[in-house]
Amino acid sequence: MYRLLSANRAAAVQKALRVPPTAHTTTTVCCGCGGNSGFAPPNFGLYQQYYQMLYRQMPAGETATATSATAVRTQTTIPTQTDAVAQTKKKRLRKPRYAKYVELLEVTEQAISERRSRVKRLKSKKLADFIQKAQLQILERRAREDKKDNKKSKGGALELSQRQPVEYQKIDMEALDASLLESGLYDDRPMLFFGKDEYTKQVIANPEEVQNILKSFNNFRDIIESIESERHEADFGLSAKVPSEDPEAVVDPFEAIEPYINPLERSTPSSVTSVGMPAASAVTTKSKKRFKSKIHVNEEQERLAKQKALHMNLITYLSVCVSANMLSRALSTIIAYRGRVRKSSLPHLSQGLITVDLYNILLHGYAAKGSFERTQELFTLIEEDGLALNEQSYAAIFECLGRLESDEENQQNIAKYITQAEDEGFSLNQIMDRAKFVSDQRDIALDAIRRIRPDFTPAYVPPQLGYDNELLNHLNVHTLPVGVSAEAGDSDYAIMNSKLGYTKAQLEQFAREQLKVELEGCITIKSIEKSKEFANAERCRERLKEMEETWRKQISTAIVRDLNTMRAQVRFKPHGFMTYYTYLKTLDTSQISDILIKELYKLAEGSETFSPTVGQLYKELGQKVQRRYQIEQKKHNGTLEKVGEIYSSYCDLWDSGRTQDNTRQAWQRLVHEQRESGPSMDLPEVSWPSNVLTGVGRFLYNILMRDIKIDAHVMRKQKGKSKTTAQSQNLLPAFYTLFRNQGRLVKEEVKPHPVLARILRASRQQTLTFESNLVPMLCPPQPWSTPHNGGYLLNKSELIRLPHQAIQQWDRIGSSNPQHLYPALDSLNQLASVPWRVNTQLLDVIVEVFQNGGDAKLDVPQPPSSLPQLPTLPAKDAEGNAASNADRAKQFRDKMGHRRKQAEMYSLWCDALYRLSLAQHYRDKVFWLPHNMDFRGRVYPVPPHLNHLGSDLARSMLIFDQAQPLGVDGFSWLKLHCINLTGLKKRDSVRERLLYAEEIMPEILDSADNPLTGRQWWAKSDEPWQTLACCMEIAKVHRCPDPAAYLSRFPIHQDGSCNGLQHYAALGRDKAGACSVNLAPSAIPQDVYSAVATLVERSRKADAQNGLHVAEALAGFVRRKVIKQTVMTTVYGVTRYGARLQIARQLKDIDDFPKDWVWPASTYLTAKTFESLREMFTSTREIQDWFTECARLIAGVCSQNVEWVTPLGLPVVQPYNRQEAKHTVRTGLKVTANLPMDMFERPNILKQKNAFPPNFIHSLDSSHMMLTSLHCERKGITFVSVHDCFWTHANTVPELNRMCREQFVALHSQPILEQLSEFMKRTYSFHDTDFTNDGSVEDLSKRQLNRTLKQLPQKGDFDLRNVLDSVYFFS
């Protein structure tokens, strides 16, 4: 209930108590905390608001002669006078405190905390006593004056009871309608209490007056509740007091009258009067504490981080409020934060919090309702805040006016805003072109404009389709401007060759199936797991079905209950207090129930040895709610229909193949053609912040943990018996939590009840469920045309895989030229446009091995049950002696290792189960793999389980869907590929490999015909499953009468020769290094791993001759395989410790090597390997050292993350920052606005410097891949990449090789190091004014940074054009 005293009652009480009017006060605006919060009692504002609500000033324009008025009662936590006296009596019965004095030496943290709490309680008690005493004194004084007046004039005096503050009785809640209380809607029903005087009778007799009261209540209820919002939010630099003009004018608390509240008046400081507290004296003022933080550089950065986080939360919160039709809550929220910005002590840090984008969200919300008055009020607020309107603002006002009836006033308003927009430099074409629209907003706004200008037709600016990059500008000759059609003779449609083969009808059917999967949110498939059927499986399934129905009812009831509870709590919280309630109201109860039921099964079927922590579970569940919300939004705002229309036209192009555009350009043309109506297609989807995802997930998990019950006796029920009564049931929580040690930390996990786990295991559902954004697509993906739109048709796909705190790179991408991102986007689109299918012949063999228990040698995971049990340690040995402590310690270590091995086996087994089950599901279907990239530009398929990345088994199962004839040399490339996979002829020429293939053709054919029962030659290969797949393809071609005409779907690989070292050698023009990694032509392939092994062995022999024992122990064991991984990863920043682990792992796998020498030998070999690499690749080491030093100084001196721009224009920022483990306060209501963000935090210097060299090289190899991808697509060649391994059809391998080499030369012909140096100097170097010239360490470090950024490594004289003739560069 609400207490809102009307103006007349307030005037009467004010007159009776003779309260001075507020018009003569000279105090300034305060935050409601009584001035300086550091010196005001903590609940001072609460008592102040009590008197402000009790003695409310009369609004202007109202008559002051009425004696009574309508009052709306509000529930309040502030006690009345009678309650306060009763509570005081109760307090007197408490045991008195004896800790009244503090010893001088008592300085412990606990003592200080206790002392502070005692002081706070003492202040609260004294304040309450002071207010109560002052109130009684006022009433007593008025009573004495009334007695004097009664003696003088008995007839004209008012009764004392009429002049005292009104004592409201407690409302009997039982007398209210029970349906209102059960539904939780009672707080939306205002209760009006009327007096018995003439004025009240007039109000009751006049329905319009009552409606005005109700309208006023509904309009300003939310704003009234936000009065105390400052005390419920963290200090973002927005709550400090503005200095008072007259510090001596201190107003008594009872004279501070809160005026009539209007959103426009509330925003003006001069229209509000509040209480000012005296400033602290010089003696009591504390010195400012020194800023200390492990995360932020200074206090300003910390405040900016909090402000940025708050702004992100406000954008999502207001958007959700508008979509959930909670406009009043959105308005009061923005007004609350707006007020804090205006009262901020740091205005230069607070200006970016309230932006016009926040107002635009509200403008569109009110425009949808045709509320022109509110939009005008918002325009006034925008003007007062000094913000400039933009195109989106005018689009909202035109939409609002378009929804109103067209009359003279309406047309005048439209003309007024058209003129205002044009005066501010916004033409109508600009407004319609740059604003974003949903649903029918565009059509409504256009209709409003045409009421004034009937002939207006918006001219939309066509998109820029071409590239703006020196390496790709020559491809623009194939791109025609929008609206220009190609001439018949000049058209080159080769770009569509790799996409042909599907009719429009097929593609549209594929799209309908894909949309169905995405709308359902998940896909359920049959598992390939081979398991025995339990005898009671059918009964378990029946019980499970019954329990699911019960759970669904329990979940629905619990959601309604908890939301109503939260709603009641939220109603009496200030509206600057952002809550999860709004986010939870975005979906229906049934939709949330479906999500929780799926989550329930996922938890119940989890691993016994490991499960995610509750923090991970909360966030993942919140993401599921967000995905469902985003899809529902697309269904309601017209995006779904618009996507269907554009995709239908897109299918026409795939069917006809008559276009010179790549997929992005074709999609942009189609979107531009349909811009005249409907929603915009480039809407940026604002993701919910991680704190919101976690809070929503925590709320829902609370329901799972608390309300989902399981009967522990559920399996005891017999079929012939009737249902047991509730007394025989033993209902227990279906899930419980446990705490597990993970290193130094203890993690909380969720586990199912054993009964539930047994039921699920016995029922053996034989199905697996996957989220729709984790499986391949059944139709060609939507091309990436902007950083926010692409991939799945409805599901949100992330362009870049980044941790949630990494927002700096998104900021760089958002501020960059869209054309600079086109190369990366087009490469992702090209890879995603390749259709795939499953190699069913090979899949059947793999499934057979998997179902028969797996095979460790063939890399088919075995189930954990196959792991032999550890032998038990006997209590006593044969001689009767008890087991020693050493034996028991060894048994414990073995037990822990056994558990780890078991958990690892189960993880690998599940991964194979998911992959093979999905492959079985898609075995007769064509599918596509949408792609995205990491922050360096390396590309990955979005579906994690079924793709062509990963292990040998994963790569072997997929083949191209499009078949092409082998051609003249195709069969030779197929045989060469088979020999390359075996790893047997790495040092031999191509001719020798082909001759070897002919020699072993009988083994190849036997492997294809009898993979599991024959001689199994394929099983001895380095890549056994890919070798077997190739053997099967060779057998088919070998038996074909015309091999050249054979239609092959098999992909042929061309792999780079230690690609990281190739890029280093090209950067430094290192001739020796270039020859060792096959950048220069040679008769046989150069093997850098064998070369390094040779140098290491030569050094080992010298040490052995000098009597070094570890060198003697390694005799005969310095092999290529031992040091290969270390050489490969050296260029990617492997540390000596990591290299030692790699070499130790290889030595352990050698059966003959003495195990006692593993660690000393691995240490020795690590040092020798690094020395040999430095000897072979001098230029490489110099460049790597320069990268490391630059990154160290940038992170250490500038305290910034290292960033650069790739040669193709992609901005890259390393997301490595110091992260302090903070305990998150668990609250069911408040949205905490603290988010970790890399752009305001200290960088992790060690990670920044160690990661920069490998990350920069990765960005170069991704640029090379993208260049090759785009040129292959232009020629119509099928192209797929696994980082530095390129795939294509057998008949197009020569063309792929040529383009691969040409683009490598073109890439490294650019001044890459020079451009990097210039970028870093422009971004990080210090100017002359930044130096103090005092010889300090800081000053010297700045000068060292400037010098280092300029000191480029020396280059050699290697000619890059040699790469064009190198056969083994990629082979």
Q: Are 1183 and 1064 in contact (CB under 8 A)?
A: yes
H or E element: which one contains 182? helix 178-183
Concatenating the DSSP letter of every residue in 971-998 gives HHHHHHHHHHHHTS-TTS-HHHHHHHHH
Query: What strands lie across the sheet with 958-960, from one edge to the other?
Result: 927-928, 835-838, 958-960
Measured distance CA(1208)–CA(819) in Å, rounded: 10
Other residues' Cβ atoms within 10 Å of the Cβ of residue 531: 10
959 backbone dihedrals φ, ψ, rounded to 5°: -135, 165
Measured distance CA(452)–CA(559) in Å, rounded: 50
CB neighbour class for 883 (10 Å; exposed up to 12, middle 13-18, buried from 19): middle
CB neighbour class for 1210 (10 Å; exposed up to 12, middle 13-18, buried from 19): buried
Is 1284 in the active site?
Answer: yes
Catalytic residue among 1022, 1055, 1103, 1339: 1055
Measured distance CA(410)–CA(404) in Å, rounded: 7
758 backbone dihedrals φ, ψ, rounded to 5°: -65, -40
Lookup: tokens for 1105 = 């001759």
Question: Helix 1158-1176 to helix 1088-1105 angle, to the nearest 10 degrees?
Answer: 120
Residue at token pair 């990670």? 1247
CB neighbour class for 970 (10 Å; exposed up to 12, middle 13-18, buried from 19): buried
Is 433 in the active site?
Answer: no
Phi-psi region of 298 (alpha: psi -120 to 50; beta: other; left: phi over 0): beta
**What type of residue sits at position 582?**
T
Other residues' Cβ atoms within 10 Å of the Cβ of residue 1339: 15
Measured distance CA(925)–CA(1309) in Å, rounded: 44
Three-state secondary structure call for residue 278: coil
In sequence order, the β-bridge partners of residue 2 are: 74
Q: Are 1110 and 1157 in contact (CB under 8 A)?
A: yes
Measured distance CA(1192)–CA(1185) in Å, rounded: 10
Measured distance CA(154)–CA(159) in Å, rounded: 11
Q: How many residues does the chain have?
A: 1371
Lookup: tokens for 767 = 């199905």
Measured distance CA(441)–CA(395) in Å, rounded: 8
Residue spans of alpha helices (H) in 1106-1135: 1109-1113, 1120-1130
Measured distance CA(1244)–CA(1219) in Å, rounded: 9
Q: Are 1361 and 1340 in contact (CB under 8 A)?
A: no
* Number of alpha helices (DSSP H) and beta strands (DSSP E) in the chain: 48, 24
Lookup: tokens for 668 = 């942009």
Question: Helix 1245-1274 to helix 1293-1308 angle, to the nearest 10 degrees?
Answer: 130
Catalytic residue among 642, 1124, 1168, 1249: 1124
Question: Helix 356-368 to helix 391-402 angle, to the nearest 10 degrees?
Answer: 10
Catalytic residue among 707, 711, 1284, 1342: 1284
CA 1089 → CA 262, 399, 976, distances in Å?
Answer: 77, 68, 21
Measured distance CA(884)–CA(892) in Å, rounded: 12
Q: Is the dihedral of CA 248, 253, 259, 261 positive or negative?
A: positive
Q: Are 1348 and 1198 in contact (CB under 8 A)?
A: no
Query: Active-site positions?
Result: 1055, 1124, 1284
